[in-house]
Chains A and B, each alone.
Chain A
Amino acid sequence: MTDAAELRRRTRELLAAHPPATTGRTDFLKARFDAGLAWVHYPVGLGGLDAPRSLQAVVDAELEAAGAPDNDPRRIGIGLGMAAPTILAYGTEEQKRRFLRPLWVGEEVWCQLFSEPGAGSDLAALGTRAVRQGDEWVVNGQKVWTSSAHIARWAILIARTDPDLPKHRGITYFLCDMTDPGVEVRPLRQITGEAEFNEVFLTDVRIPDAHRLGAVGDGWKVARTTLMNERVSIGGMRVPREGGMIGPVSRTWRQRPCLRTHDLHQRLLDLWVEAEVARLTGERLRQQLAAGQPGPEGSGMKLAFARLNQEISGLEVELLGEEGLLYGDWTMRRPELVDFAGRDAGYRYLRSKGNSIEGGTSEVLLNIVAERVLGLPAEPRNDKDVAWKDLAR
């Protein structure tokens, strides 16, 4: 078993062999990957050392102290948080070797081609078709809500391969080359004025069978691995006290007494306590996860943060009063990242409305909690045994 001391030793070896001051960023990251220090819980040869996940912090602290570059994890969040764990779980050896290294290093950005205009909360009803032709699949359809599609090199894609089967059984999971001439990415402007997401139109996109992930028809099972990881990566970020949206509103409260009212004071304190409890709950969940795989409990964190983000930013807009009536800028832009930090309260209020929709709606997540955590019976369903092509839409 690789322990903390061993990891520290290996990290220092890496730093000695590739001093950050004189090594190019990508070269350093590749060397780090090859040394098994990228994600230590991954297998040997794939950027890891089969070490406990909790020991990653040891490596990160050593590297940070030495001023080593990181892989800009926020820019490649979909790759790291969703594509990578799924490829690791279901990929062939060849796929793992081909994709994980450039993914982690950040040379290849990933996006997620899941949601469709007609398949949002009911993702399994998706209608994008993949038809086999020899060693290839020909894909046609439309995806939506795709962040990073305009900068992505690869996509994780789920498509319908058998419309005659019930919806969960006729789906197959692919790794899609975003440079294929049949891929068209169009910005989708949102409530904030920005186009952080995209619509992606797939017209006769050709995917080699070698880029299928998992068995034909197993796409839903594979996708659930991705979705579990997505929900954890959305809700499970480590935050210090007042580190989330409660921070800016608390600072505004302290600095600007003239804005205070009794009404807002009580609401602020209620939300402050809820934010602190959510932080502690997240911390506890993270400690649980350090050893194992994420379970459905991760859904709870996403639910809590979605609601808190919305309520806190809504309160802040009200607190700002006359200033809250203003907005920074409605100009349409295509940002690479979603970043709440440094944005005005109005932006945060509007953007956080998406938190209860993206990565699983809060309504669907509440069902997951009710059914998988509490064990409550599912609602009677009439969509599970019907051929996909016969579903009402």
Chain B
Amino acid sequence: MTDHTPARNDHTRAGDDRTPAETDLLYSQAESDLRAAVRSLLADRADPAALPGRVEADSPCDPALWQALAAGMGTAGLLVPEKLGGQGATHREAAVVLEELGRAVTPVPYLTSSVIATETLLAAGATDLLTRLATGREVAVLAVPLSAGPDHEPATTGTVTGVADAARADVLLVPRPDGLYAVDAAEAGIAPQTPLDLTRPLAAVTVPDGAGTRLADADATRAAVRRGLLAGAGLLASEQLGVAEWCLEETVRHTRERHQFNRPVGSFQALKHRMAQLWLEVAGARAAARNAADALATGSPEAPLAVAVAQVYCSRVAVHAAEECVQLHGGIGMTWEHPAHLYLKRAKADAIALGSAGRHKETLAGLVNLPAPG
């Protein structure tokens, strides 16, 4: 599906001062086409302005929209090889989809099923299930808390709380001490929790001992879960980029239109500077997110570093952009009927999701040999 040839990184041991070889940080034509198609679908079927009225429904995810996105457009199978029914594309394309989903804070299980669960299954070599996910017929989620980062040590047994999109899942991927299990969601207890981010439902998941089919042994499970969460963290940066982009664009639009003091409020220098600063941050977020997506796509040994950098940077940018969006919308931004609050909640939750910035900084400190004092 993609026509770009990724640049290979000549990776050297981290901690020296050599700069990695050039990475492709642009969007290919195919990636731009994919973006246009997803954006057009979401514009028709997932207008953020209509979301505040939807998010409190039992399932904010619109099944027809998910079907059109995952199966109709084939985005669920981007990471899956063609021989398994997927598109044989890469993390670069999946990242573009996530940028668009972030821009519209769309409540669909793309990050959880089409990225994290899919990547975990790819690592575990679970082909049958991969095909079902790739075609968009089924949704699977990895049964770990949304806050779990790549270094997460899965709980041994019992109830796992804060599992994203669990209520929407057909299959749960359950890491146990002896391996990774695929458990039919109908066999598990799934108790919805009240999320800060209403566009990404959370649930407490209880899986009976002995339920499910084993997909991988203990060692392979550890590696597979790590790979799934690393890809999730890396591509979450693209979702955060999309959130930040929408917030900035909407803020610029609003402050151009809103008149106070007989002029557009966006003509005040103090506000212009704040939006210009956000633009700088969004530009940085795009570079960092592209870098992470490309490193994952090429299987670069730089990937853990690229993911940590993208998470530390993009988490902050998304929250900053959403906070400025609410503030610069004035009273309107504090109302339920305006979608700005959904972006703020998504941005804040994303900052915790898949490892906090602090955890990623600790990872980075090790990777680039900048140890903590003492």
Contacts and interface: CB of A to CB of B under 8 A. Distances in A.
A357 B262 contact: no
A190 interface: yes
A317 B330 contact: no
Given A325-B147, A328-B194, A350 B341 contact: yes
A357 B323 CA distance: 12
Q: Which of B161, B330, B344, B362 has the most CB of A within 10 A?
A: B330
Contacts of A349: 348
A191 B335 contact: yes
Interface stretch (A38-46, A128-136, A202-210, A261-269): A261-269
Interface in B163-199: 193-198
B372 interface: yes
A104 B352 CA distance: 46
Given A261-B358, A363-B271, A121 B195 contact: no
B133 interface: no
Nearest to A345: B196
Given A353-B344, A382-B263, A325 B195 contact: yes
Contacts of A321: 147, 352, 356
B263 A392 contact: yes
B249 interface: no
A325 B349 contact: yes
A163 interface: no
A393 interface: yes
A228 interface: no
B9 to A, nearest CB: 27
A86 interface: no
Contacts of A145: 331
Contact of B334 (A119, A190, A314, A346): A190
B107 interface: no
Given A321-B356, A326-B162, A363-B271, A261 B362 contact: yes
Contacts of A327: 194-196
Nearest to A328: B194
B248 interface: no
Interface string A348-370: 01100110110001110010000
A120 interface: yes
A318 B351 contact: yes
Interface string B342-374: 001100110111001111011000000000100
Interface in B209-238: none
Contacts of B359: 261
B323 to A, nearest CB: 7
Nearest to A324: B352
Contacts of B253: none
B337 interface: yes
Given A321-B147, A386-B262, A363 B270 contact: yes
Q: Which one of B147, B194, B331 has the greatest number of beta carbons of chain A within 10 Å? A: B331
A322 B319 CA distance: 17
B258 to A, nearest CB: 9
A305 to B, nearest CB: 15
Contacts of B263: 382-383, 392
A270 interface: no
A261 B356 contact: yes
B362 A262 contact: yes
Interface string A65-86: 0000000000000000000000
A115 interface: yes
A329 B194 contact: yes
A317 B349 CA distance: 9
Contacts of B147: 321-322, 325
B259 interface: yes
Contacts of A121: 260-261, 265, 330
Given A190-B334, A324-B352, A326-B196, A391 B362 contact: no
A144 interface: yes
B247 to A, nearest CB: 13
B32 interface: no
A393 B261 CA distance: 9
A383 B262 contact: yes
A146 to B, nearest CB: 11
A310 B259 CA distance: 26
B27 interface: no
Given A191-B336, A325-B162, A327-B194, A383 B261 contact: yes
A393 B323 CA distance: 25
A366 B270 contact: yes
A123 B58 CA distance: 41
Tell me which of B145, B352, B357, B361 has the highest count of chain A C-beta atoms within 10 A of its own C-beta.
B352
A392 B330 contact: no
Interface string A307-338: 00010001001100110111111100000000
A263 B193 CA distance: 28
Contacts of A386: 262
Contact of B357 (A189, A263, A314, A361): A263
25 contacts: A121-B261, A122-B260, A145-B331, A191-B335, A261-B362, A262-B362, A318-B357, A322-B147, A322-B161, A324-B352, A325-B145, A325-B147, A325-B196, A325-B197, A325-B352, A326-B195, A327-B195, A330-B194, A349-B348, A353-B323, A353-B326, A353-B344, A379-B268, A382-B262, A383-B262
Interface of B: 56, 145-147, 161-162, 193-198, 202, 259-263, 265, 268, 270-271, 319, 323, 326-327, 330-331, 333-337, 341, 344-345, 348-349, 351-353, 356-359, 361-362, 372
Given A325-B349, A330-B194, 4 more contacts: A193-B336, A321-B352, A322-B161, A392-B259
In order of increasing CB-CB distance, the 3 nearest A-B pairs are A263-B358, A383-B262, A122-B260
